[in-house]
């Protein structure tokens, strides 16, 4: 039975050849959301790109010398300078009169925290670069430490719960709004659980001559504490609860948001992950934190108008079923 499915998938692949810029055989954990998201992004950009990649899991698991999983020109320099390296590459291509697109890849640590200044500079100066942040909500490469993207109350090795603490005390930084506040042409969020949406947003960003930004929510089974085969379910629940709204911003203003057809309670999302397990006790403070998190989701639903009215091919349920070959260019 299993073999049959695998054959079917590989046959499907053959029928729909796509550009593969990130090869299989790299060393990511089973079910790594970042690996899948990076593959999807490169599939959508095609081969005419140069990539600058920040230090982090994606860099480490794809390039153990003398091997490389990349089939596109790719450079890793440092953790915090990816925006600037990409800006330099883009300036060079511009000086040479080439139209090759420059992509910058960073984790949430490399984007929200240590590389934030270089990113901001790149956006402000208007470089023609698509910056993709693979947001797995912690420093995974160094062993799951909190970042400014780690959601409120999540447990990491540097935000452990204990007598005095309920995981991370602070809120997740709203990076996409900060990025959009640079008044760049296009900034968006996406989730690895909505591949067609990623493709659509990457293509949209590529078509723009100027700085664009895509934040892709990528579960990390190791850091979040769920099974590898649950990554897509977990990521989809983040969207369906309103905790991770999928939005597009143009020149700083909201241009679209993916409606949620059936809004789910946040507990459905949280209880699948070990990083939130301290919230599921009888303690009053645990209940209070759950209420906080629900309030965050409700707030998102409100400000972005995420409540879907009716069936919609582009809502949180419809997007699941948008298939290749059908609404292919959705």
Which stretches of the chain bind ligand SF4, using CB under 6 A?
Answer: 28-29, 32, 34, 57, 61, 136, 140, 220-223
CB 175 within 8 A of CB 188: no
Question: Could you say whether residue 20 binds other proteins (CB under 8 A)?
Answer: no
Residues 14-53 that bind ligand TPP (CB under 6 A): 34
CA distance 193 to 320: 8
Q: Which of 92, 207, 303, 313 binds other proteins (CB under 8 A)?
A: 92
Instruction: Tell me phi and psi for residue 161, to 5 degrees.
Output: -75, 155
Say which residues have a Cβ less than 8 Å from residue 79's Cβ, sequence separation at least 6. 54, 55, 56, 109, 110, 114, 115
150 binds, among other proteins, ligand TPP, ligand SF4, none (CB under 5 to 8 A by kind): none
CA distance 174 to 176: 6
Instruction: Tell me phi and psi for residue 188, to 5 degrees.
Output: -150, 160
121 binds, among ligand TPP, other proteins, ligand SF4, none (CB under 5 to 8 A by kind): other proteins
CA distance 264 to 320: 16
Say which residues have a Cβ less than 8 Å from residue 224's Cβ, sequence separation at least 6. 136, 137, 234, 273, 274, 275
- Is the CB of 40 or the CB of 140 nearer to ligand SF4? 140
Q: Kindly state the smallest distance separating residue 160's Cβ from ligand TPP, in Å.
A: 17
- Is the CB of 90 or the CB of 248 nearer to other proteins? 90
49 binds, among ligand SF4, other proteins, ligand TPP, none (CB under 5 to 8 A by kind): other proteins
CB 258 within 8 A of CB 191: no
Closest CA to 268 of 299, 316, 235: 235
Q: Which stretch binds other proteins (CB under 8 A): 6-14, 113-121, 206-214, 241-249?
A: 113-121
Q: Kindly state the smallest distance separating residue 140's Cβ from ligand SF4, in Å.
A: 4
Binding flags for ligand TPP, 128-157, as an x/- string (CB under 6 A) = ------x-x--xxxx----x----------
Contacts with ligand TPP by CB under 6 A lie at 34, 55-58, 79-80, 106-110, 134, 136, 139-142, 147
């Amino acid at each position: 039975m299993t073999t049959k499915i695998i054959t079917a998938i590989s046959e499907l692949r053959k029928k729909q050849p796509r550009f593969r810029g990130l090869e299989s055989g790299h060393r990511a954990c089973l079910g790594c959301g970042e690996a899948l998201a990076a593959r999807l992004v490169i599939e959508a950009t095609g081969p005419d790109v140069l990539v600058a990649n920040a230090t982090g899991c994606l860099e480490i698991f794809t390039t153990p010398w003398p091997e490389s999983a990349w089939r596109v020109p790719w450079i890793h320099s440092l953790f915090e300078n990816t925006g600037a390296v990409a800006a330099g590459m883009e300036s060079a291509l511009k000086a040479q009169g080439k139209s090759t697109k420059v992509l910058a890849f960073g984790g949430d640590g490399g984007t929200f925290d240590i590389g934030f200044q270089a990113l901001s500079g790149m956006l402000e100066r208007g470089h023609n670069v698509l910056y993709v942040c693979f947001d797995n909500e912690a420093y995974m490469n160094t062993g799951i430490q909190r970042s400014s993207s780690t959601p409120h109350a999540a447990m990491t090795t540097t935000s452990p719960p204990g007598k005095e603490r309920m995981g991370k005390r602070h809120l997740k930084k709203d990076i996409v709004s900060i990025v959009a506040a640079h008044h760049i042409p296009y900034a968006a969020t996406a989730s690895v659980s909505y591949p067609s949406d990623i493709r659509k947003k990457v293509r949209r960003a590529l078509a723009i001559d100027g700085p664009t930004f895509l934040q892709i929510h990528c579960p990390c089974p190791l850091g979040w504490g769920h099974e590898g085969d649950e990554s897509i379910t977990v990521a989809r629940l983040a969207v369906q609860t309103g905790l991770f709204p999928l939005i597009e911003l143009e020149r700083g203003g909201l241009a679209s948001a993916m409606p949620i057809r059936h809004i789910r309670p946040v507990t459905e999302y949280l209880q699948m992950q070990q990083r939130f397990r301290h919230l599921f006790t009888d303690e009053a403070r645990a209940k209070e934190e759950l209420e906080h998190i629900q309030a965050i989701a409700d707030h998102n639903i409100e400000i972005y108008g995420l409540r879907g009215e009716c069936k919609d091919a582009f809502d949180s349920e419809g997007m699941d079923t948008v298939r290749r070959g059908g609404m292919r260019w959705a």
